[in-house]
């Protein structure tokens, strides 16, 4: 089963965390997961994906403009209705608006007819209510690494749900 992680990243933080989510997805047997920048999506792979997780950096407590544009103009071409959707964000500050980004991404997915999921509090620790947020200044890989386990587990949970629904 194919799963896609699609992201915008200007300075690499979100790209790195997208790869960690894909790594977590691949821990689930039968899952083929790939991460794509919004400017290099493999449309066939994404259309065939049962689950799409989207993520971007937080810009002024909102989605980055590039991501917003992609959501409006490109995402709808990926056969979205009925697919499982999830969202993540990166931000520099813990109170910088990362969860607002996730909420905006999930709202967009709901609007496109997707079935959104995170696991919420039902999976125990780490508790991930809406989706994971990694906090780091641009290019601070050491700070990002603190979030790797949570992002990997999030990817695994999304893949397990995709397999339970569609496998």
Ligand X SMILES: Cc1cc2nc3c(=O)[nH]c(=O)nc-3n(C[C@H](O)[C@H](O)[C@H](O)COP(=O)(O)O)c2cc1C
Residues that bind ligand X (CB under 6 A): 9-15, 57-61, 90-93, 96-97, 136-138
In the complex, least distance from residue 100 CB atom to ligand X, rounded to whole angstroms? 9
How far apart, in whole angstroms, are the C-alpha atoms of residue 18 and residue 89?
Answer: 9
Contacts of residue 78, Cβ cutoff 8 Å, sequence gap at least 6? 41, 43, 46, 47, 49, 52
d(CA 52, CA 36): 11
* 59 vs 117 by CB, closer to ligand X: 59
Q: How far is the CB of 136 from ligand X (least distance, A)?
A: 5
Task: Specify whether the CB–CB gap between 75 and 42 falls below 8 A.
Answer: no
CB of 108 to ligand X, least distance (A): 18
28 vs 38 by CB, closer to ligand X: 38
Helices (H), 27-167: 43-48, 65-73, 98-111, 141-145, 148-166
Q: What is the secondary structure of 44-62 as a DSSP string?
A: HHHHH-SEEEEEEEEETTE
By Cβ distance, which residue is nearest to ligand X? 96
Least distance between ligand X and beta carbon 79 (Å): 26
Least distance CB 91 / ligand X (angstroms): 3
Neighbours of 27 (CB within 10 A): 14
In the bound state with ligand X, the residue whose beta carbon lies nearer, of 15 and 75, is: 15
Ramachandran region, residue 115 (left: φ > 0; alpha: ψ -120 to 50; beta: rest): beta
Nearer to ligand X, 81 or 94 (CB): 94
Q: Which is nearer to ligand X, 86 or 96 (CB)?
A: 96
């Amino acid at each position: 089963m194919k799963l896609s992680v699609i992201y915008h990243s200007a300075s690499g933080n979100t790209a790195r965390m997208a790869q960690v989510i894909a790594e977590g997805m691949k821990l689930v047997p039968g899952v083929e997961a790939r991460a794509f920048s919004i400017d290099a999506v493999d449309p066939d792979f994404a259309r065939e994906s049962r689950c799409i997780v989207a993520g971007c950096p937080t810009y002024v407590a909102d989605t980055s403009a590039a991501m917003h544009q992609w959501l409006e103009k490109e995402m709808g071409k990926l056969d979205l209705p009925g697919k499982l959707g999830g969202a993540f964000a990166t931000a520099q500050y813990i109170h910088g608006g990362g969860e607002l980004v996730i909420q905006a991404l999930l709202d967009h997915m709901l609007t496109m007819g997707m079935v959104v999921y995170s696991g919420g509090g039902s999976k125990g620790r780490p508790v991930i209510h809406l989706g994971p947020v990694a906090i780091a200044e641009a290019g601070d890989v050491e700070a990002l690494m603190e979030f790797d386990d949570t992002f990997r587990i999030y990817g695994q949970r999304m893949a397990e749900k995709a397999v339970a629904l569609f496998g």
